[in-house]
Amino acid sequence: MTQQEDIIRTVNQLFIFTDERNWVEVKKCLAVEVWLDMSSMGAGQPAIISAQQIVDGWDEGLKKLQAIHHQVGNYIVDVSGNEADLFCYGTASHYLPNPTGQNVRTFVGTYNVHLTQIEDVWKIDKFQFNLKYIDGNKDL
């Protein structure tokens, strides 16, 4: 497997394990501390926080949903030594059946991810979501 494939695999695993709510495995994709920027969604200012804080926040924020689905692609990966930058498109669907019949909220945007290779393992140490639009039930 090439370095680029390893990097893409790490990012894919982050999303797959998030969808599965496998927080132990999500945390393994992250560096001990991560610069997190979800400000385009109104989630506060970018900050350096621990992997555990990210996992705890995502667990709490996604807990009420029946299903989560991330789809990412159109990867552009630049590797320089033991560091890499990855850009990709992404969508996230949140599903929660409710009396309104409006069961889905979809987030569409791009991601900028920085990874560092630590002991031959690529870890995400910067994670930014750039929202293009949200569609569906705003109350989910």
Percent of residues, the chain, with pLDDT higher than 70: 100
Q: How far apart are CA 31 and CA 113, in angstroms?
A: 12
- Written as tens digits, the pLDDT of the chain (140 aa) is 899 999 999 999 999 999 999 999 999 999 999 999 999 999 889 999 999 999 999 999 999 999 999 999 999 999 999 999 999 999 999 999 999 999 999 999 999 999 999 999 999 999 999 999 999 998 88
Q: Which residue has the tokens 């969508």?
A: 91
Cβ neighbours, 10 Å, residue 139: 9
CB-count burial class (<10 Å; 0-12, 13-18, 19+) for 95:
middle
Q: What angle do CA 105, 108, 112 make, to 5 degrees?
A: 135
pTM score, two decimals? 0.96
**pLDDT tens-digit series, residues 67-97:** 999 999 999 999 999 999 999 999 999 999 9
Of 107, 114, 108, 139, nearest to 128 by C-alpha is 114
CB-count burial class (<10 Å; 0-12, 13-18, 19+) for 99:
exposed
Q: How far apart are CA 37 and CA 130, in angstroms?
A: 9
Q: How far apart are CA 71 and CA 17, in angstroms?
A: 12
**What size, in residues, is the chain?**
140
